[in-house]
Amino acid sequence: MKIALLGNPNTGKSSIFNLLTGLRQQIGNFPGVTVEKKSGYFTHNEQRFDIVDFPGTYSLTPRSLDEEVVANILGKEDSKDFPDLIIAVVDSSRLENNLFLFTQLYELQLPTVLVLNMWDLSQKNGIIIDIEALQKQFPDTTIVTTNARVGIGKERILAAISKPKTRNGNFFIEEAQTTGNELTEKERRNKARTRKDKIESLVNLVQSKHEKKESSRLDKFFVHPVTGYLFFLTILMVMFQFIFSFASYPMDFIDGAFGTLSHWYSSNMPEGVLTDLISEGIIPGIGGVVIFVPQIALLFFFIGILEETGYLSRVVFIMDRIMRPLGLNGKSVVPLMSSLACAIPGVMSARTIGNWKERLITILVAPLMSCSARIPVYTLLIALVIPEGYIFGFLNIQGIVLFGLYLMGIIGAFVVAFILKLIIKNKSKGFMLLELPSLKPPRWGDVFIGVLEKIKIFLFDAGKIIIAISIILWFLASYGPGEKIKNSRFSVISSQAYQEASEETKADMTSSSNLENSYIGHLGKFIEPAIKPLGYDWKIGISLLTSFAAREVFVGSLSTIYAVQDEGDDPKRLLESMKNEKRPDGTPTYTFASGMSLMVFYVFAMQCMSTVAVVKRETRSWKWPLIQLLFMGVMAYAFSWITFLFLR
């Protein structure tokens, strides 16, 4: 039996869904659109029920993308998700508002179950609903009361869906029968008004008193011009701190574990291509996916709380006016801020943005925010080309440069957002009408399920792409055309320097020669003429290519090229050899100009395959990640070129 779960936003629909399905849920998309589809199943009395949690809507009039999905599926009996039964969830405290959608659903002539959720809360507020009288108005529906937040009412819903009442075909309003395809806006309005009026008089019969919302003291605090922003900033700082610092412990652990696993595998298996593929391609590839899980989990834990409590909509309320000129949404603040730690959870968190255009712009500019993976690159290059010292006696010059790089990314993101706002067409006609739900404590079960969902999406959807790309990169860096790798290895081994070197240096020398003669090495040399105007040579070229896997790979790649594999995190030897590195004409490779140019390159370039994979997942097409890759690449090239030109 197929069930559609429908209701207005903020009626506790998701809690009902979680209550019925537990962890037996799945996230996908509705065919052809980017609207998220949550489905799940459960069994009751040996009968299987498949349930789809539709996006929350106020009516069946297709206005936004979400509403279109609902209207399309319920309008077509042959669509895959067309239900046998509808569970309509309403908030008991807002019966009159919520009945608008329900009366439309009632007219679809499908069996319905009307769930009066948050029943206890309405009781507590003195709202008395005469269920018998309500039942008389909708004789063909089964009415149940629930309090899904604390898990009350599951049995009642199960009993209701096991014995659904059939519909006898009367319409709630007469006008509903004449559903001519194209109504004028005026006719639509009149029809909505008729329905609304009828609901109003009906509710007057069954309900004693309406709830009146006053602004609570907490709300006044949240939207206050001073305390409101201060509080939001504090929340962001806390989130950011947690993601930035505390995620590093599990991340280091994952990094170490996969390193050990890879090492163990290669030393316990027979030597050969397959062993290399697994130990150097696949295991690090999987590790490179899993390593993002702590950040994703932490971010969505916080976002889950913010959403559940209703605070997130207050954020939108105070940020909307500020972000609007940039083509962004009040909700864009969270994805952009989180992207300062890592763009991957940042991009995924843009899901909370309802408007497609605003969400897309947020996703496209998020990777311009300098993430934590850029830090190793920045710090290495700053230490290399920026002198230590102070301006005005207290401003650390290296610190100013680092701050400038972050600022450059943020300004870049805003400027690009503004340009994209002018270019991208808006798909949905929607204009923002936002509900501010009552503030309430979070339901931890729902937060937890939300975190698991995000991890699952990342691991299984984006993970596939990331592993595939990292295997390709591994192949390109380990194999080369013809016998070159072998030949040059031979010449390295037979050189006098090699004979005199220590065991460690010997290994460094061969891996340096291997990388230089691999496909990527050749590619690095091939692109040298293109990156020369930016102040780079082929060795930097190779590192640019390999660091498409992830930005921090840049440092490791340079270490390999310069044959100075450091133990631990201290890149002292690498810095030493980079300082001594000379161009063919004898001038140093890393000057103030070329170093700055390289840093600017990393501010703008999309050097992260995982972000590409996540953007593909979130936008459901290769179009947007490729556009993003392109414009970020163009920006990186152009600004590095300008930087090098002016500083040389």
Residues binding another protein (CB under 8 A)? 10, 58-59, 61, 63, 91, 93-94, 96-97, 100, 184-186, 188-189, 192-193, 196, 210-215, 219-220, 223-225, 228-229, 313, 316-318, 320-322, 429, 431-438
Taking the complex as a whole, the smallest distance from the CB of residue 610 to another protein amounts, in Å, to 35
Q: Which is nearer to another protein, 325 or 399 (CB)?
A: 325
Q: Which is nearer to another protein, 163 or 186 (CB)?
A: 186
Taking the complex as a whole, the smallest distance from the CB of residue 125 to another protein amounts, in Å, to 9
Taking the complex as a whole, the smallest distance from the CB of residue 79 to another protein amounts, in Å, to 23
Q: Which is nearer to another protein, 124 or 486 (CB)?
A: 124
Nearest to 88 by CA among 56, 64, 49, 66: 56
Rg (CA), the chain: 30
Q: What is the DSSP string of 555-574?
A: HHHHHHHTT---SSS--HHH
The secondary structure element, H or E, covering residue 50 is: strand 47-53
Nearest to 411 by CA among 369, 349, 364, 359: 369
Q: Which is nearer to another protein, 10 or 372 (CB)?
A: 10
Taking the complex as a whole, the smallest distance from the CB of residue 36 to another protein amounts, in Å, to 22
The residues, any chain, with a CB within 8 Å of residue 577's CB and separated by 6 or more, are: 562, 563, 564
Cα–Cα distance, 503 to 163 (Å, whole number): 78
Q: Which is nearer to another protein, 225 or 393 (CB)?
A: 225
Taking the complex as a whole, the smallest distance from the CB of residue 619 to another protein amounts, in Å, to 26
Cα–Cα distance, 173 to 176 (Å, whole number): 6
Cα–Cα distances (Å) from 119 to 149, 151, 310, in that order, read 10, 12, 19
Residue type for position 347 = V
Residue type for position 618 = E
Q: Is 472 exposed, middle or buried (0-12, 13-18, 19+ CB in 10 A)?
A: middle
Q: Which is nearer to another protein, 223 or 527 (CB)?
A: 223
Nearest to 50 by CA among 15, 76, 26, 78: 26
Q: Which is nearer to another protein, 311 or 548 (CB)?
A: 311
Taking the complex as a whole, the smallest distance from the CB of residue 156 to another protein amounts, in Å, to 23
What does the block give as tokens for 116? 């009066």
Cα–Cα distance, 288 to 199 (Å, whole number): 55
Taking the complex as a whole, the smallest distance from the CB of residue 33 to another protein amounts, in Å, to 20
Q: Which is nearer to another protein, 64 or 338 (CB)?
A: 64
Taking the complex as a whole, the smallest distance from the CB of residue 124 to another protein amounts, in Å, to 13
Cα–Cα distances (Å) from 553 to 7, 115, 545, 635, in that order, read 47, 53, 10, 21
